[in-house]
Amino acid sequence: MKQLVVLTFVDEYRAAEVLAMLQRIHTGAVFQDDNTVCVVRATDWNVKLTHGLDLGRLDDQPRQFWRALIASLVLAPGTADCRRSGQDYGIAPPFERELHANLPPGSSAVFMIVPLPMLPDIVPTLHRCGGTLLQTAIQVCS
């Protein structure tokens, strides 16, 4: 079982700073390439997805997964081609409503896929980063 953990911030720049800090202090697999992304919802409603992608990789699956997931949870212009329902990922509508309330235009967030056993180890670190911590179960096809 995996958890989708989202740490939201009230400005467009804080999530990128926090993700970089988390990657520096944790050398484990949780805050690495395929498991985390930074999302910025600009004041013009555009959504920017920043994903640490290894240029040596030939597959594009992690980027496609994150694009589809974020488009399913955060209404963004130009994503109709990959928009699915959050329920397709096992995400309950109350989580989606809470995410929408905490990610208005001009804000940012760090999205992470975390194995359930690792959650108690990282939650205290995330709380120290500030922001609003949201989490829900997620179905991820491996």
Tell me: the pLDDT tens digits for 15-74?
Answer: 999 988 887 776 555 566 578 889 999 998 888 888 765 545 556 677 778 888 888 888
Residue ranges covered by each domain of the chain: 2-138
By CB atoms closer than 10 A (0-12, 13-18, 19+), residue 69 is: buried
SS3 115: strand
Q: How far apart are the first and last CA of the chain?
A: 12
How far is Cα 119 from Cα 101, in angstroms, rounded to an integer?
Answer: 23
Q: Which residue has the tokens 């500030």?
A: 130
> What's the pLDDT at 95?
92
pLDDT at 51: 72
Mean pLDDT (the chain, rounded) = 82
Q: How far apart are CA 9 and CA 131, in angstroms?
A: 5
pTM for this one?
0.85
Alpha-helical segments (H) within the chain: 14-25, 61-73, 93-102, 119-128
For β-strands 132-138 and 36-41, DSSP reports them as unpaired
Token pair 């809470």 is found at: 98
Tokens for 101? 């309330």
Res 103 pLDDT > 60: yes
Per residue in 66-96, pLDDT tens? Answer: 888 888 888 666 666 666 677 878 888 899 9
